[in-house]
Amino acid sequence: MSKIKITVLMLVAIIIFLSALFIGPRIINPFRMGDMEKEILFSIRFPRVVVAILVGMALGASGAILQGVLRNPLADPYILGISSGASLSAAFALLSGIYSFGRFTIPLTAFLGASAVSVLVGVFGWRRGGLWPERLLLAGVGLSFLFHSVLMLLMSISTDEGLRRAVLWIFGDLSMADWSLIPYGLVFIVSGLIISVSRSKALNALILGDEFAHSLGFSIHKERFMLFISMALMTGASVSLGGTIGFIGLLIPHIMRFVAGADSRVLIPLSAIGGGAFLCLADLIGKSIMTPMEIPSGIITAIIGSPYFLYLLRRKDVLSI
Amino acid sequence: MSLAFDRPILELKDVSFSYLRDKKIIDNISFSVGNGEFIGLLGANGSGKSTMLKLSSGILRPSTGEIKLWDKDVLSYPNKDRAKLLCYLPQLLDINVPFKVKELVGMGLYPYDIPPHITVDEALEAVGLSEKPDSYITNLSSGERRRVFIAMTLVQGAGILLLDEPFANLDIRYQIELLKLLKELKDKKGIAIIMALHDINIALKFEKVMLIKEGRILGTGSPDAILTREMLKDAFDVGIEVVRREYGEAYISYENNF
């Protein structure tokens, strides 16, 4: 049964990817493309779809990892404050007008912010030779509040234009996507996926509890550390590519558990595929429904995601980690 | 000449443990376990039964003393190698993840590259859950859940099972069935089983019991030798007595003080 569900999901994902390429403010017929259509397809839509897929994959997979590592169904990649740190550093660059690295400035500052916060959360979550889920969670929530407040302070004293750009970025704006950043994002996100999938048995065991994981032959602190690294790589790269896009990391792993079960060996790759497809769909909707205006993808994911999440909440058999 | 199988497979030597420096939870205990031994750890709440099992499994590191698994420090084993020799099943099975029964039981194969002797289906058959491989653990009763995890330990196939209160939440029928199953494992496969217990009636079915109080061993031996009125009074601080009937059956009698 779950094989049929997985096949259907893959087909839906492919249809969404293709639709996102050919549908938009201008519909492109793949069999009759002029120079203009080719330019739109390869220079604008293709990189944008690839960025949406990468960001969605990173968030979906990171959510599945983090819900397991923290043994908390409400965990998402942003709960550890990584996105708040990235937002703060990116907003600082946007508002202060520092562009030392050209178009790389914002993604780079966001990635540096995300990395710095990952290290900071790791330091606070570290005790007696390992990372402890409760400490990580509390440290993340505490740091999130701090960074969020500083971000609000920055925004409250900034100019209107800077503020608008910062708000767009914070809500996940994929409109600036181009090929230049994709290789870097690809390296981090694929590395994170490979690490996490290779540790998926350990994640299953950690979900049962540290004592089970130990008894089944895993080094609990080493495995948790590796999973944390994989999640931090993917989250940092996704925030720097696409800003902070909510709900994918929280919602997609829950839906995928419903589709294919809780085994992390299947759940992590499926959450990645589901996340990629969902963000593509949200971006397609965001750029199509109010043309020429675009709605940031993060807003669309939340508007679609919240009611569906509440629907799932009523099905208590689904909403567990 | 001492043959390999005569040697203890698990040995604790002068082991002490404390979470905080001032209070010892385990206080200088020594004991050894041989192949196929079936030992019940009995003691009041907080006496150190679970801590002893966790120390033996290498989850906790002793403050002093040493713990040897097959003549080698338990902490020196690579994790996967240790998992093939020794398996620990915790008392709390607090799982709210919708894993399927067969997925959970299959996790017992994680330490192995080549699947060992017993299959998931055989393990499920052994614990009476062969009808439920596709059920979600979250939909099972607490007794069924415990049997799922026992099946997982069977698949893991270690020679030493450390079980923390495996009879908790089981009704009397499954207590008896689990006891029979574990004794069969011991007899057929020579698996050594050490389990923390709180039910003295179950302890009476063991060949060997170890009575523990405040992290120290009060005595080890047959239930007849150890579960005396005096020893039980010392361990639990209540007046209880094992009464034996003529045809060998035994039960616990409480003093009429409540």
Say yes or no for a CB contact (<8 Å) between A262 and B97.
yes
Say yes or no for a CB contact (<8 Å) between A216 and B57.
no
Residue B248: per-residue pLDDT: 63
Residue B24: per-residue pLDDT: 85
User: B231-255, pLDDT tens digit by residue?
Assistant: 888 888 887 877 777 666 677 777 6
Average pLDDT, chain B: 86
User: B146-197, pLDDT tens digit by residue?
Assistant: 889 989 998 998 889 999 998 887 788 878 888 888 888 888 888 899 999 9
- Kindly state the greatest CA–CA separation across chain B: 58
B47 touches chain A (CB under 8 A): no
Prediction ipTM score: 0.89
The end-to-end CA distance of chain A, in Å, is 21
Residues B120-126 have a mean pLDDT of: 89
Q: What is the rounded distance in angstroms from the CA atom of residue A132 to the CA atom of residue A112? A: 24
- For residue A321, the distance in angstroms to the closest alpha carbon of chain B comes to 5
On whether the CB atoms of residues A63 and A252 are closer than 8 A, the answer is: yes
* DSSP class per residue in B3-20: -GGGS-SEEEEEEEE-SS
Short-list B255, B20, B249, B49, CA closest to B164: B49
Residue B246: per-residue pLDDT: 66
Cβ neighbours around B35 below 10 Å, total: 17
pLDDT along chain A (321 residues), means of 10: 80 92 83 84 89 95 93 84 85 76 76 88 85 88 90 82 77 77 90 96 95 94 92 88 86 87 93 94 88 82 83 62 47
- The two structure tokens encoding residue A278: 């969902």
Mutate to test the interface with A, among B97, B163, B165 (most CBs of A within 10 A): B97
* DSSP class per residue in B191-245: -EEEEEE--HHHHTT-SEEEEEETTEEEEEE-HHHHS-HHHHHHHHSS-EEEEE-
Q: Where are the domains of chain A?
A: 2-314
B100 touches chain A (CB under 8 A): yes
CA-nearest residue of chain A to B50? Answer: A211
Say yes or no for a CB contact (<8 Å) between A216 and B84.
no
Residue B4: per-residue pLDDT: 47
Cβ neighbours around B181 below 10 Å, total: 18
0.90 cut: is pTM over it? no
Considering only the beta carbons, identify the residue of A217, A262, A318 that sits closest to B99: A262
* CATH fold for the domain made of A2-314: ABC transporter involved in vitamin B12 uptake, BtuC (1.10.3470)
- The two structure tokens encoding residue B123: 């393990």
- For residue A266, the distance in angstroms to the closest alpha carbon of chain B comes to 12
Considering only the beta carbons, identify the residue of A205, A219, A317 that sits closest to B138: A317
- Which segment of A45-49, A317-321, B47-51, B80-84 scores lowest on mean pLDDT? A317-321
Residue B67: per-residue pLDDT: 94
Q: What is the rounded distance in angstroms from the CA atom of residue A194 to the CA atom of residue A192? A: 6
CA-nearest residue of chain B to A204? Answer: B107
- For residue A312, the distance in angstroms to the closest alpha carbon of chain B comes to 14
Which helix (H) or strand (E) is B250 found in, with range?
strand B250-254
Task: Give me the percent of chain B exceeding a pLDDT of 70.
Answer: 93
Say yes or no for a CB contact (<8 Å) between B59 and A210.
yes
Say yes or no for a CB contact (<8 Å) between B79 and A218.
yes
Say yes or no for a CB contact (<8 Å) between A262 and B87.
no
Residue B66 has pLDDT above 70, yes or no: yes
Residue B21 has pLDDT above 50, yes or no: yes
Residue B14 has pLDDT above 60, yes or no: yes
What is the CATH class of B4-254? alpha beta
- For residue B203, the distance in angstroms to the closest alpha carbon of chain A comes to 25
Task: Give me the percent of chain B exceeding a pLDDT of 90.
Answer: 40
- For residue A51, the distance in angstroms to the closest alpha carbon of chain B comes to 32
Residue B258 has pLDDT above 60, yes or no: no
- For residue A222, the distance in angstroms to the closest alpha carbon of chain B comes to 11
Say yes or no for a CB contact (<8 Å) between B96 and A201.
no
Residue B247: per-residue pLDDT: 66
Interface of B with A in 53-72 (CB under 8 A): 54, 57-59
Chain B CB contacts of A217 under 8 Å are 79-84, 110-111
Say yes or no for a CB contact (<8 Å) between B59 and A261.
no
Residue A24: per-residue pLDDT: 79
Which helix (H) or strand (E) is B57 found in, with range?
helix B49-57
Short-list A144, A216, A104, CA closest to B158: A216
Residues of A with CB under 8 A from a CB of B: 73, 201, 204-205, 207-212, 214-219, 257, 261-263, 317-318, 320-321
Say yes or no for a CB contact (<8 Å) between A217 and B111.
yes
* DSSP class per residue in A234-260: HHHHHHHHH----SHHHHHHHHHHHHH
The DSSP call for residue A98 is -
